[in-house]
Chain A
Amino acid sequence: MPQFSVSDVALFGEQMIRNISKVMVGKETVTKRLLIALLSDGHVLLEDVPGVGKTMLARSLAASCGGSFCRIQCTPDLLPSDVTGLSIYNQKQEDFVFRPGPIMAQIVLVDEINRATPRTQSSLLEAMGEGQVTVDGATYDLRKPFMVVATQNPVEFEGTFPLPEAQLDRFFLVLQLGYPTAEEEKEVLHRLQEEHPISALAPVTEPNHVAQLQEVVARVHVEESVRDYVVHLVRSTRQHPQVQLGASPRGSLALIRAAQAAAALDSRDYVVPDDVKFMATSVLAHRLILKAESILRGTTASSIIGELLHQVDVGVEGDL
Chain B
Amino acid sequence: MKMKALLPALAAIFTFSIIGLGTKYLGLLFPALSVPFCLWPFILLSAIESAYFATYYLGPRTPSLWRLIELAVWLVPVYLLSGRSAEPFLRNGFWVVSSWLMARGYGSQLSFMERVADHLGDQGAQTVNWEYESLASLDSDHAPLKYFWRRFFGYGGVIAILAMAFHAKIGDLHGEDVLHLRLLGSAAVASGLALQGGAYLFRLQILWGYAKADVHPSLARTWLKGMAVLLLVLVLFINVAPVDYWPLTATRISTMLRNFVVKGPTVSMPPITSDEKASRLEEDPFWFFPEDVALGPWGFILAFATLIVFAGMTFLLVSVIGLVALRLVGHELEKLRGLPKLAAQVYLGLRESLRILLGMMRNIRVGPRPLGRLPNVSELGEVTKSKKHTESMRKPRGVRAMFRRIAKVAKKKGLAFSPSQTALEYGKTLQEHFPEVARAVQEFLDGYQKVRYSDRELSESDQGKLLEVGAVIVEEIERWKGE
Binding site for B on A (CB under 8 A): 221, 223-226, 228-229, 231-232, 235-236, 241-242, 269-274, 277, 291, 293-294, 309-320
Contacts and interface: CB of A to CB of B under 8 A. Distances in A.
Given A277-B422, A317-B400, 17 more contacts: A223-B389, A225-B385, A228-B376, A232-B377, A236-B374, A270-B449, A270-B453, A271-B453, A272-B423, A291-B212, A310-B420, A311-B373, A311-B420, A313-B419, A313-B420, A316-B417, A320-B416
A313 B408 contact: no
A317 B377 CA distance: 15
B450 interface: yes
B416 to A, nearest CB: 8
B427 to A, nearest CB: 10
A310 B377 CA distance: 16
Interface string B390-430: 00010010001001100110010000110111111110000
The 4 closest A-B pairs by CB, nearest first: A224-B389, A270-B454, A313-B419, A273-B422
Contacts of A232: 374, 376-377, 380, 383
Given A221-B455, A228-B385, A317-B396, A274 B424 contact: yes
Given A274-B424, A274-B425, A311 B374 contact: yes
Contact of B377 (A231, A242, A293): A231
Interface string B435-472: 00000000000000110111100000000000000000
Given A225-B389, A272-B424, A273-B422, A316 B452 contact: yes
A87 B425 CA distance: 57
Contacts of A309: 420
Given A224-B388, A270-B450, A312 B420 contact: yes
B370 interface: yes
Contacts, number: 100
Interface of B: 212-214, 370, 373-374, 376-378, 380, 383, 385-386, 388-389, 393, 396, 400, 403-404, 407-408, 411, 416-417, 419-426, 449-450, 452-455
Given A272-B422, A291-B212, A320-B417, A313 B373 contact: yes
Contacts of A228: 376-378, 383, 385, 389
Nearest to B423: A316
A315 B376 contact: yes
A317 B449 CA distance: 12
Given A235-B380, A311-B374, A320 B407 contact: yes
Contacts of A274: 422, 424-425
Contacts of A223: 389, 452-455
Contacts of A225: 385, 389, 453
Contacts of B403: 317
Contacts of A269: 454
A317 B422 contact: no
Contacts of B383: 228, 231-232
B430 to A, nearest CB: 13
A314 B408 CA distance: 18
Contacts of B376: 228, 232, 313, 315
A186 to B, nearest CB: 31
A291 B125 CA distance: 13
